[in-house]
Amino acid sequence: MTPNNPCRNLRLRLCVYCLVCCLCTTLSAQQTKSDVPQRTPQAESDARQHTPQADANTHQTKDTITGKVHAIPEVGIKRRRTPQRISVASPIQLLDKKELENLGFQNIADAVRRFAGANVKDYGGIGGLKTVSVRSLGAAHTAVAYDGVAVSNCQAGQIDIGRFSLDDIDMLSLSIGQNENLMQPARLFASAGVLSIYGKNPLEGTDKPCDFKAQVKGGSFGFINPSATWAHRLTPRTTYSINGNYQRADGNYPFTLVNGKYVTQEKRQNSDIQSWHAEGNLYHTMKDSSLLQVKAYYFDSERGLPGPVILYNNHSDERLWDKNCFVQALYRKHLNHAWALSAQAKYNYSWDKYEDTDVKYQDGKQTDINKQQEYYLSGTLQWHPLHPLTASWANDFILNTLDSNLPDSQLPTRYTWLSALNLNYHWKSLTATGTLVHTLIAEEVKAGKRPDNRHRLCPTISLLYRPWKQQSLFLRMMYKSTFRVPTFNDLYYQRVGNASLRPEKAQEFNLGITWSGSPFSFTDYVALTIDGYYNKVRDKIVALPTTYIWKMLNHGKVDITGADVTLRTAIPLNRRISLSLTGNYTYQKAIDVTSEEDKNYKDQIPYTPVHSGNASLSIETPWINLAYTLTGVSERYSLPQNITENRIDGYMEHTLAASRIFNLGNCKLRLQAELINLTDEQYDIIKYYPMPGRSFRLTGYINF
């Protein structure tokens, strides 16, 4: 950091010195062990505990120049752009707010598809269910965390990531295996992978007393999505924000139906959605720099459920109503130089109504109503006695209930206790991390059979080795054991449920190499990661036919072998124009090895492509920003047998986006246009559920 003019005035030097000290304090939590400064979810979280307002208050008594006016000469800060984290023992991928905006993603599901090793199931349309699975382990093995607190669905075991808005998302991250953050709750340590969604205090890093932004999105198929966010600083240490958005679309998009030699143009039916979302956040930094963050969330939607298109039958009368609200609180405090504490509390209420109108029902209509409640407490204590050693102990207690109007509903209650002991040791160029997670689960039911109490120990170990200090080259290894407990639907759903189910067990093995540097003079950086992995799933829970009905059973062994490759680089064309390139590729062979006598023995499991990947190119100029993304997926199969009748063709989807920011005094106006699936590719992600073809979207955003 070099000032344009040297400081000759003693007071001015003191002012600059104090400013640098404050900056160093703020940035110290963001430093990593790599030579290149990197941005991580933990660094983001830690940095929020040291806001400029808190630092100013903390050192107010030491300030000897308060009330005086000084002219500080202009300071220029120059550094290379930095890639995502590579100096971690387990794969982690990031997308920040700038990338999320410039690349023209429609929702979080579109963004998650860009992560290597992530498989997103999408039932089509704006309102279709969207779930994520990491390396074919299943959606129930993948946790979703919103601002550090886990999102849950004990009934179905999978989270619909399509309900989260991208408007106020600051960063997305996907960690596979073990996240290096030792201050997270035990629930996240117990998962095979974690998709983390991070919001941001709109006033963080500014001295503005308030902030307002409004946005309107509109596009094809009757899509309209207005939203607004208001933030206000109550005191130097306390800020709140309120966000609300409304979304609707008729969703009746055209598609091409191929039936043998006949090709017809059809239109999707019953794909409409109408939803409301509101969210409030309170951020408070206490005098001892501890942080309290409270979030209140509400989501309400009504949507049509478009059925499968089989032959020419495109009719569906299924409807779904969703209501979800939760309140969560997160508290972090550094007790002293060796001890730190994190505590979480959450109450979650979820209500849904499913309705199907059909003559096959006795009264011409079937209505299912389910109500879930969750009470969640978590505490993590971290100990840092020596420079190379860090330890933490996390404990979670969870109470889940399910009420239903279904006949003979057993009305279960589940008690879960999770405890995670973690150790991290750094010696010279080697970093070793070990975790032991203990799970204890007990259940009660109002009637019928309940499963026995379940408990299990699951270990994790990861190693990170840096052969040469002068090079950002890292070798990493990870082993993780996890399991997922049967959901309430698996255990109790009418006659299909089976209270004798065993937990589904998974093991993950990962070997990788990561590197970043500037091998070429024309690049800011080049970052490369290569990971090979092997996963095993045992006691897989599947629905199988029995003598009279289908039943949930433990019948399945799956071996998963694969490799993930990611590449990122930035090229400054001149002082005002820069080019960014990113890409990833996944090879995945996930085969069923349950029994040699099965017809599908060693066949690829359903909905898992062998090859998948994506690439993006973005250009930033003073006049306009342009972005192009390409997503490709090879053929898959809808059922366990890999035969022609079950085959789903591969596809390639192209998207273009253009945006520009206008500075209008104290206001910032951003306009963006997106052309999605510009080649009008006709494809399915789930068989018989056609995805939209070519569409457009326009976005207007104003901030002041």
Q: Which residues pair with 304 in a beta bridge?
A: 319
Tell me how many degrees the CA angle 656-659-662 measures, rounded to the nearest 5.
175
User: Helix or strand or coil: residue 399?
Assistant: strand
Cβ atoms within 10 Å, residue 393: 15
Structure tokens at 268: 């999707």
Of 6-15, 213-222, 293-302, 497-506, which range is least confident? 6-15
Q: What is the pLDDT of residue 688?
A: 86
Residue in 700, 703, 704 with CA at minimum distance from that of residue 216: 700
- Please check the confidence at residue 42 and state whether its pLDDT lies above 60: no
The structure tokens 């107010």 sit at: 60
Sheet strands side by side (includes 142-146): 92-96, 169-176, 193-199, 142-146, 149-151
Of 205 and 413, the structure prediction assigns the larger pLDDT to 413
Q: What is the pLDDT of residue 380?
A: 97
Of 124-128, 218-222, 372-376, which range is least confident? 124-128
Could you tell me the pLDDT band of residue 548, with boundaries at 50, 70 and 90?
A: low
Please report, for the chain, the start and end positions of each structural domain, with discontinuous segments joined by +. Answer: 1-79, 196-703
Could you tell me the pLDDT band of residue 700, with boundaries at 50, 70 and 90?
A: very high
- Per the CB < 8 A criterion, the answer to whether 605 and 558 are in contact is yes
Could you tell me the pLDDT band of residue 546, with boundaries at 50, 70 and 90?
A: low
% of the chain residues with pLDDT over 90: 56
C-alpha gyration radius of the chain: 26
- Please check the confidence at residue 459 and state whether its pLDDT lies above 60: yes
- Per the CB < 8 A criterion, the answer to whether 478 and 510 are in contact is yes
What's the half-sphere exposure (Cβ side, CA atoms, 13 Å) at 221?
28
Backbone angles phi, psi at 480, to 5 degrees: -145, 135
Residue 441 Ramachandran class (φ > 0 left, ψ -120 to 50 alpha, else beta):
beta
- Per the CB < 8 A criterion, the answer to whether 375 and 345 are in contact is no
Q: What dihedral angle (degrees, nearest 10) is formed by the CA atoms of 162, 163, 168, 173?
A: -50
Amino acid at 379: G
Distance CA 585, CA 634 (A): 12
- Please check the confidence at residue 476 and state whether its pLDDT lies above 80: yes
Could you tell me the pLDDT band of residue 69, with boundaries at 50, 70 and 90?
A: very low
- Residues in CB range of 439: below 8 A, 6 or more apart: 190, 416, 417, 418, 454, 455, 456, 458, 483, 485
User: Helix or strand or coil: residue 539?
Assistant: coil
Could you tell me the pLDDT band of residue 174, with boundaries at 50, 70 and 90?
A: very high
Could you tell me the pLDDT band of residue 47, with boundaries at 50, 70 and 90?
A: very low
- Please check the confidence at residue 228 and state whether its pLDDT lies above 80: yes
Q: What is the mean pLDDT of residues 358-374?
A: 87
Q: Which residues pair with 176 in a beta bridge?
A: 193
User: Helix or strand or coil: residue 110?
Assistant: helix
Distance CA 533, CA 507 (A): 11
Q: Which CATH architecture has domain 196-703?
A: Beta Barrel (2.40)
Distance CA 32, CA 322 (A): 42
Q: What is the mean pLDDT of residues 179-186?
A: 89
Q: What is the pLDDT of residue 370?
A: 92
pLDDT in tens, 344-356: 999 999 999 999 8
Handedness of CA 129, 135, 136, 139 (dihedral sign): negative
Of 326 and 3, the structure prediction assigns the larger pLDDT to 326
Q: What is the pLDDT of residue 318?
A: 87
pLDDT in tens, 522-533: 888 999 999 999
Q: What is the pLDDT of residue 34?
A: 37
User: Taking the model in full, what pTM does it have?
Assistant: 0.84
- Please check the confidence at residue 38 and state whether its pLDDT lies above 50: no
Residue in 610, 495, 490 with CA at minimum distance from that of residue 547: 495
Q: What is the pLDDT of residue 353?
A: 93
Q: What is the pLDDT of residue 507?
A: 95
The structure tokens 């965390």 sit at: 145
Residue in 90, 96, 87 with CA at minimum distance from that of residue 114: 96
Q: Which residues pair with 247 in a beta bridge?
A: 275
Structure tokens at 156: 């179905």
Q: What is the mean pLDDT of residues 224-232?
A: 95
% of the chain residues with pLDDT over 70: 87
- Please check the confidence at residue 15 and state whether its pLDDT lies above 50: no
Tell me how many degrees the CA angle 274-195-318 measures, rounded to the nearest 5.
30
- Please check the confidence at residue 638 and state whether its pLDDT lies above 70: yes
Q: What is the mean pLDDT of residues 258-286?
A: 88
- Per the CB < 8 A criterion, the answer to whether 559 and 591 are in contact is yes
Distance CA 138, CA 383 (A): 34
Could you tell me the pLDDT band of residue 239, with boundaries at 50, 70 and 90?
A: very high
Cβ atoms within 10 Å, residue 387: 7
Handedness of CA 329, 88, 160, 590 (dihedral sign): negative
Q: What is the pLDDT of residue 60?
A: 39
Residue in 28, 58, 22, 25 with CA at minimum distance from that of residue 43: 28
- Please check the confidence at residue 33 and state whether its pLDDT lies above 50: no
Tell me how many degrees the CA angle 385-391-397 measures, rounded to the nearest 5.
135
Q: What is the pLDDT of residue 18?
A: 39
Residue in 504, 443, 431, 434 with CA at minimum distance from that of residue 474: 431
Of 107 and 662, the structure prediction assigns the larger pLDDT to 662
Q: What is the mean pLDDT of residues 398-406?
A: 92
Q: What is the mean pLDDT of the chain?
A: 84
- Per the CB < 8 A criterion, the answer to whether 418 and 438 are in contact is yes
